[in-house]
Each structure stands twice: as structure tokens, then as C-alpha cells.
Amino acid sequence: MKKKLPPAKLPLPKFQSNQDAAEYLESHSVASVWEQLPEVTRVKLSPALAGKIRDRHARAKSPISLRLAPEQIAAAKHIAAAKSVGYQTQLRMWIAEGIRREAKRA
């Protein structure tokens, strides 16, 4: 069950970095102040960037089942948090790195 987040207060605090903003928004609910938040202008992507984004989404990942020891998962989560990435993303990066390394040996 998800824990209930305390409501955000308006005006929102000034954030020093995107990381500060992310941490605040992960720990506060903006549901009660959503309608009062300022409008943002949509960014127009270059055709090249839009194409890259579409290509990335087109390459779907296939789910697999992988059993790891609890301490391996905890270690991966700790390392990933220090790098500000998700632990599953970190695991995928390690797997990709290992595949590249082994492919060079073959």
C-alpha cells in the first residue's frame, strides 16, 4: 500500500536543481494545488530529436524473470541510488557492459 504524501504548499519552493525538485515532488502531493500551478510552455522538439525518441520507443524491451539474492538486489539499489538511476536500469547497464566485454573476447 502506498503511503499518503503530505500536500505541497503554494507557492512551491525555489529549487536549486532538478534533483531538489524531484526529491520534493516525490515526497509531496501536488493534487490539492494542481489547478493553481503555473502553465508551462510546451517545448517544440527538433525533427531529429523527435525521430530519436520515436525510434527508442519502438525498440521494446522483453520482460524476463531473473532470480537474484536479496543482498544483490539491495547492493544494486544502493549503487543505483548513488548514481540517481533506477536499479533495474543499472542492472541493464551492467548486463549490456558484460555482453560488450564478452563479445570482444569471442
Per the CB < 8 A criterion, the answer to whether 83 and 90 are in contact is yes
Q: What is the pLDDT of residue 62?
A: 83
Q: What is the pLDDT of residue 77?
A: 96
Coil vs helix vs strand at 49: helix
Rounded mean pLDDT for each run of 10 residues along the chain, 106 residues in total: 70 87 86 80 90 86 91 96 93 95 92
Alpha-carbon span 32 to 82, nearest angstrom: 31
Per the CB < 8 A criterion, the answer to whether 6 and 26 are in contact is no
Q: What is the pLDDT of residue 83?
A: 92
Rounded to two decimals, the pTM is 0.47
Q: What is the pLDDT of residue 9?
A: 75
Q: What is the pLDDT of residue 101?
A: 95
